[in-house]
Amino acid sequence: MENPNTHSRRAFLKTAAASAAASAALAGAVGRSAEPTRTARIGIVGVGSRGSGLLRTILQFPNVAVPAVGDILAERAGRAQEIVEQATGDRPQAYTQGERDWERLVERDDLDAVLTATPWQWHAPIMVAAMKAGKYAATEVPAAVTLEECWDLVRTSEETGMPCMMLENVCYHQEALTLLRMVREGLFGDLLHAEAGYQHDCRSLMFTDDGKLSWRGEHSAAKNGNLYPTHPIGPIAQWMDINRGDRFTRIASNSTKAAGLKQYAARKFGPDHPLAQRDYALGDVNTSLLQTAGGRTVTLYFDMNTPRPYDLIFRLQGTEGIHMGGAKGGIYLEGKSPSPHAYEPFAPYMQEYAHPLWTALQEQARQHGGHGGSDYVLIHDFLKAVVNRAPLPQDVYDAATWSAITPLSIDSVARNGSAIDFPDFTQGKWQSRPPVPIYGA
């Protein structure tokens, strides 16, 4: 009879070899690059709350310059100018002449990269323009809101040769990176299923204080599907080698009725207020099921309009074990966990299988980065690639695939939950691309 550890060993050897190949490719790209001490010159479009937070994180790194900032509100741009000047001694130029003034910013010849943290509908247009202008492009999530925009990002990156990265910080959470290493070392065996969701009470963000829909609220009023899938799907896609050995093939999505926003608006503004009287398209809880070419499944949840504690879940299940994140918490590995009928704490595994990138940067990350330090690790990876003219760790195929879940889920909900074919943005390259490697700082 076959040793029960033989399968794990084979899986480990296979993924280790692939990771080594990918690491060598990445190292080769860095080795061919410019001097690693050159300055990364970053322009930022959208310096509200999130953009200002990313700006402050960027300025924690040496050899970084921010020559330009843009925002439709002059006071925000002015605040960003002060932040940069206090940190570097240089005051960036502000672009505040309307919602398309970023078109002048991306054409500057003193920028290596353009980062956008605007409302969602501007992410893809700004990144496309940046790549066409010869800059690295980066964006807050999601990278696109329509399938056409997803394809536009892919085509532009391929045609210009310029990298494009969606700044998905959950991929850099300590838990997510630990699990990535454990997957690569074969502890879960052959992966079968994952479950995750963006479950976060964001009702207060849907309305302005003066009784209007915010830009986020406008999306909830008009669309019914999974509008914010990238936080849960990013780590899962890396664990399952999506676009790098496997790919999504189909998605089916269903939503509950929409009740939460009307009730919230009635309490906030009064039952006779127009926001309490109108209808909202977005169902309060959306559930989507994805299938992969390799026979795996993923369940995604989306819930922003009900009262609930924040929970991403992160269940990861394979032939030799299961991890349960979120409120339930715990891990069970066959032949390793002490009891065959009980989960054990995950914390010791966070130490035993710590990802080298997190290990190297955790002290600075916890001091200088938001979202538990993941923002710092994320920006480190982005700036490292820009400085070295290297590939980005999350590429344009990831940005398109993870973002495409929104329009595909909307289509599926409109068809009463019918399964929808998932586009192959790599156009077949997924079959030969190596998985995301385990690498250090």
Q: In the predicted model, what is the mean pLDDT of residues 195-215?
A: 96
User: Which residue among 148, 168, 188 closes a domain?
Assistant: 168
**List of residues 6+ apart from 3 with CB closer than 8 A:** none
Instruction: Indicate if 250 and 311 belong to the same structural domain.
Output: yes
Instruction: Indicate if 179 and 285 belong to the same structural domain.
Output: yes
Instruction: Indicate if 157 and 185 belong to the same structural domain.
Output: no
Q: What is the CATH number for 160? A: 3.40.50.720
Span 228-256, pLDDT tens digits:
999 999 999 999 999 999 999 999 999 99
Tell me whether residue 12 is in a domain: no
Residue 421 pLDDT greater than 50, yes or no? yes
Tell me whether residue 21 is in a domain: no
Give pLDDT, residue 37: 60
User: Confidence class of residue 221 from pLDDT cuts 50, 70 and 90?
Assistant: very high
Residue 4 pLDDT greater than 80, yes or no? no
Tell me whether residue 111 is in a domain: yes
Instruction: Indicate if 144 and 177 belong to the same structural domain.
Output: no
Instruction: Indicate if 140 and 272 belong to the same structural domain.
Output: no
Residue 8 pLDDT greater than 50, yes or no? no
Look-up: residue for tokens 């299988």? 353
Q: In the predicted model, what is the mean pLDDT of residues 375-391?
A: 96
Q: In the predicted model, what is the mean pLDDT of residues 424-436?
A: 97
Tell me whether residue 343 is in a domain: yes
Beta-carbon count within 10 A of 295 CB? 10
**Based on the structure, what is the number of domains in the chain?**
2
Tell me whether residue 363 is in a domain: no
| Full domain range(s) for residue 67 | 29-168
Instruction: Indicate if 343 and 418 belong to the same structural domain.
Output: yes
Tokens of 318: 């394979």
User: Which residue among 168, 187, 219 closes a domain?
Assistant: 168
Identify whether the C-beta of residue 145 lies closer than 8 Å to the C-beta of residue 229.
no
User: Confidence class of residue 368 from pLDDT cuts 50, 70 and 90?
Assistant: confident
Give pLDDT, residue 36: 43
Give pLDDT, residue 3: 39
* pLDDT-wise least confident of 20-24, 188-192, 201-205, 302-306: 20-24
Q: How far apart are CA 100 and CA 243, in angstroms?
A: 33
Q: Mean of the per-residue pLDDT values for the chain? A: 92
Amino acid at residue number 410: I
Instruction: Indicate if 186 and 290 belong to the same structural domain.
Output: yes
Instruction: Indicate if 341 and 280 belong to the same structural domain.
Output: yes
Q: What is the CATH number for 348? A: 3.30.360.10
∠ CA 148-149-155 to the nearest 5 degrees? Answer: 90
Give pLDDT, residue 9: 38
Tell me whether residue 145 is in a domain: yes
- Tell me the CB-side half-sphere exposure of residue 361, using CA atoms within 13 A: 26
Tell me whether residue 375 is in a domain: no
Give pLDDT, residue 371: 86
Q: Exposed (0-12), middle (13-18) or buried (19+): which is 147, by Cβ within 10 Å?
A: middle
Residue 330 pLDDT greater than 80, yes or no? yes
Residue 385 pLDDT greater than 80, yes or no? yes
Span 19-58, pLDDT tens digits:
344 444 443 333 333 344 689 999 999 999 999 999 999 9
Span 84-101, pLDDT tens digits:
999 999 999 999 999 999
Give 264 or 14, the one with higher predicted confidence: 264
Look-up: residue for tokens 């690569």? 184
**List of residues 6+ apart from 83 with CB closer than 8 A:** 52, 55, 56, 59
Percent of the chain with pLDDT over 70: 92
User: Confidence class of residue 224 from pLDDT cuts 50, 70 and 90?
Assistant: very high
Q: In the predicted model, what is the mean pLDDT of residues 357-385?
A: 92
Instruction: Indicate if 63 and 178 belong to the same structural domain.
Output: no
Give pLDDT, residue 436: 94
Give pLDDT, residue 23: 42
Instruction: Indicate if 185 and 296 belong to the same structural domain.
Output: yes
Tell me whether residue 7 is in a domain: no
- Tell me the CB-side half-sphere exposure of residue 360, using CA atoms within 13 A: 11
- Using CA atoms in the order 308, 309, 310, 315, what is the torsion angle rounded to 10 degrees? -90
Instruction: Indicate if 100 and 244 belong to the same structural domain.
Output: no
**List of residues 6+ apart from 100 with CB closer than 8 A:** none
Instruction: Indicate if 162 and 180 belong to the same structural domain.
Output: no
3-class SS string, 354-385:
CCHHHHHHHHHHHHHCCHHHHHHHHHHHHHHH
User: Which residue among 168, 184, 206 closes a domain?
Assistant: 168
Span 176-187, pLDDT tens digits:
999 999 999 999
